[in-house]
Copies of this chain bind each other. A is one copy, B any other.
Amino acid sequence: MKIKMAKSYGFCFGVERAIKMAEKTRDAITFGPLIHNEKETKRLEQGFNVFVENDTKNVRENQSVIIRTHGITKQDLATLRQNRAKIIDATCPFVITPQKIVEKMSAENYGIVIFGDKNHPEIKGVMSYAKNPIVVNGVEELLDVQIPKKVALVSQTTKQMEKFQDLAMNLMQRCAEVRIFNTICNATFDNQEAVKELSQEVDVMIIVGGRASSNTKQLGFIAQKYCKDSYLIEDENDLRTEWFVGKNLCGITAGASTPDWIVQKVAKIIEKM
């Protein structure tokens, strides 16, 4: 099987930075999984004694706590500080931006609209900095909601530009002022553009990434549009030979939280098919 890698795929700046911080810190806990990839989380456990902790109450004084790339809520951060944990902030700078924006815009009495998934840790974090935010996952959820005259709009870093634009278009018809902060991450965008291009020229498309990873799912949605034989896998064990029967060219991409060592394993196995 011939393979072709996406022009842009895998680890983004924020994830690479967080992993380096974790490897350097050692003997620490991360509050929530550092990145949305179980294999990588396990590697950090085994190689660097960095464990996942999910409850702020279990954090001891002086314990090194690495804040995950997606950020945490304002309240949890306050609790960690109160408990005198040693905080190593690996929140992606691109996630800190919408946190700061909604805090400032709330203080200036703008209504806050967040384009994102309420249940995603990044959005839980961003929401915690806003006064009464309206959180929607698409324009259809916005239609029946009462909207203030002046609003600020931010996006989850991993969302699609087109859907963000749909929201903006709706708001600008209903509001006197809409402040649009494009907080979609370029890295995400680059990976999305690359998968759009690649999935149009291949017979089968493999997307490697964690099942909880929002940006990996997005890559899957985009690939599916252009190549109906698109498959999301966590690692090489998910590969099924029947996907490749009668196919010539296989495209490969990976989410922003997928380490390259997993991608390389997958590529090697497909090549041999």
Contact = CB atoms under 8 A, between A and B. Distances in A.
A181 B176 contact: yes
A151 to B, nearest CB: 10
Contacts of A180: 168, 172, 177-180
A109 to B, nearest CB: 15
Contact of A177 (B165, B169, B175, B182): B182
Contact of A181 (B168, B173, B177): B177
A31 interface: no
A231 to B, nearest CB: 30
Query: How many copies altogether?
Result: 2
Contact of A172 (B173, B175, B176, B182): B182
Contact of A179 (B165, B169, B173, B179): B179
A164 interface: yes
Determine the interface band of chain A, counting residues with CB < 8 A from chain B: 10 to 19
Interface string A165-196: 10011001101111111100000000000000
Contacts of A181: 176-177
Contacts of A182: 172-173, 175-178
A244 to B, nearest CB: 37
Nearest to A155: B172
Interface of A: 161, 164-165, 168-169, 172-173, 175-182
14 contacts: A161-B173, A164-B172, A165-B173, A168-B169, A168-B172, A168-B180, A172-B180, A175-B182, A176-B182, A177-B179, A177-B180, A177-B182, A178-B180, A179-B180
